[in-house]
A and B are shown apart, each in its own frame.
Chain A
């Protein structure tokens, strides 16, 4: 089976500093990979490479259609939450399901700019959940989430993996479920 994400001998240099060299990894359908490592070890850079937003200095990266949640909200601040999310999908049913999965339905008509940090994080995750992409890239998805939010994210991740998706995440706090581990900067 072809992997959803594949790094082959990938080297990444940022600002003259070598972050990692000749890195190989692969995530297949149903696979969940957790990136660990100290601050500045290149976790976010690896995720941006995987997303195709940065070019690798060497090596090749193969990817399928993907969705990214990082610390950027990418939702129009002046719009109500549901309309802002609707910019990224035409599938109204999927949108309602994502709002419900993250307990955002009661905030659907609240302008995005009024959301709290944790609510904005849930909205970012909802943006990933509405996309039909099989590969999810989650950079620090737990930042700002309360206990209920973490549980909902765990459920969302489990459902995505069961449906054949794959997830790459970088996080300092532990996530539920079983994850393959990869340490950077060691």
Chain B
């Protein structure tokens, strides 16, 4: 049943809005040269940070479709009635969301990196840092989605919740992309791991608490 649930969520995302965050990511990355000017040295310095800002804002877009439709439509209730724990549902949602968010974001990161003129030596590190960060971002998005599901103005609230919680990922991720000696990649991996490990329990508790 868990596999079926992951497959269903992936199908729904691919058929629907999975492309939106990627497009948004590309647009934000493209905005940066317009905002700060075309100076290649300046762009190269801020490129990794710019990509991370683009990734964080892109992570906000899918939040409203991750949990709320299934809560409102009774799917979460029906899964519970069939004996599937809310934690298992949460884990399935995180896996499905990462599958339709992480790889696409990494693909979009390559042209974005060229737009910002990232040095070839730093390109690999930047992509690796993003790759390690995407599971954490996906877990965070599903957690925030479950916490805000059913609330009025959930989208705006989700932004206010998610962005501050993503700061540790941002610091270590952008740091790792900039300086290979900093150990940022390991710290980023640790943060990402904590977020992924916590997410089924947070989502499970949030689904139960949102029942009326």
User: A residues bordering B, Cβ < 8 Å?
Assistant: 48, 51-54, 65-68, 70, 72-78, 87-88, 127
Whether the pair A72, B211 counts as a contact (CB closer than 8 A) is no
B3 within 8 A of A: no
Query: Which residue from B74, B80, B82 sits with its C-beta under 8 Å from A73?
Result: B74
CB-CB under 8 A from A65, the residues of chain B are 83
Q: How far is the CA of A73 from the CA of B81 in the complex (A)?
A: 14
B152 within 8 A of A: no
Whether the pair B77, A73 counts as a contact (CB closer than 8 A) is no
Q: How far is the CA of A127 from the CA of B16 in the complex (A)?
A: 25
Whether the pair A53, B12 counts as a contact (CB closer than 8 A) is no
Query: Which residue from A54, A77, A78, A88 sits with its C-beta under 8 Å from B78?
Result: A88
How many A-B contacts are there with CB distance less than 8 Å?
41
Whether the pair A78, B74 counts as a contact (CB closer than 8 A) is no
Whether the pair A53, B4 counts as a contact (CB closer than 8 A) is no
Whether the pair A51, B81 counts as a contact (CB closer than 8 A) is yes
* Secondary structure dominating the interface of B: helix
Query: Which residue from B12, B77, B82 sits with its C-beta under 8 Å from A72?
Result: B77
Query: Which residue from B4, B8, B75, B80 sits with its C-beta under 8 Å from A52?
Result: B80
CB-CB under 8 A from B4, the residues of chain A are 87
Q: Smallest distance from the beta carbon of B86 to chain A beta carbons, Å?
A: 11
Chain B: residues with Cβ within 8 Å of the partner, total of 16
B15 within 8 A of A: yes
Q: Report the nearest B residue to A75, measured CB to CB.
A: B73
Query: Which residue from A66, A75, A77, A78 sits with its C-beta under 8 Å from B81?
Result: A66
CB-CB under 8 A from B8, the residues of chain A are 76, 87
Q: Smallest distance from the beta carbon of B36 to chain A beta carbons, Å?
A: 42
Q: Smallest distance from the beta carbon of A120 to chain B beta carbons, Å?
A: 11
Whether the pair B15, A74 counts as a contact (CB closer than 8 A) is no
Query: Which residue from B73, B81, B82 sits with its C-beta under 8 Å from A53?
Result: B81
Whether the pair A70, B74 counts as a contact (CB closer than 8 A) is yes
Whether the pair B73, A72 counts as a contact (CB closer than 8 A) is yes
Whether the pair A76, B81 counts as a contact (CB closer than 8 A) is no
Q: How far is the CA of A76 from the CA of B16 in the complex (A)?
A: 13
Q: How far is the CA of A127 from the CA of B75 in the complex (A)?
A: 12
CB-CB under 8 A from B83, the residues of chain A are 65
Top-10 shortest CB links A-B = A72-B74, A74-B74, A74-B78, A74-B75, A68-B81, A53-B77, A53-B211, A51-B81, A74-B73, A72-B73
CB-CB under 8 A from A68, the residues of chain B are 77-78, 81
* Mask: chain B, 175-212; 1 = CB below 8 Å from A; 0 = not: 00000000000000000000000000000000000010
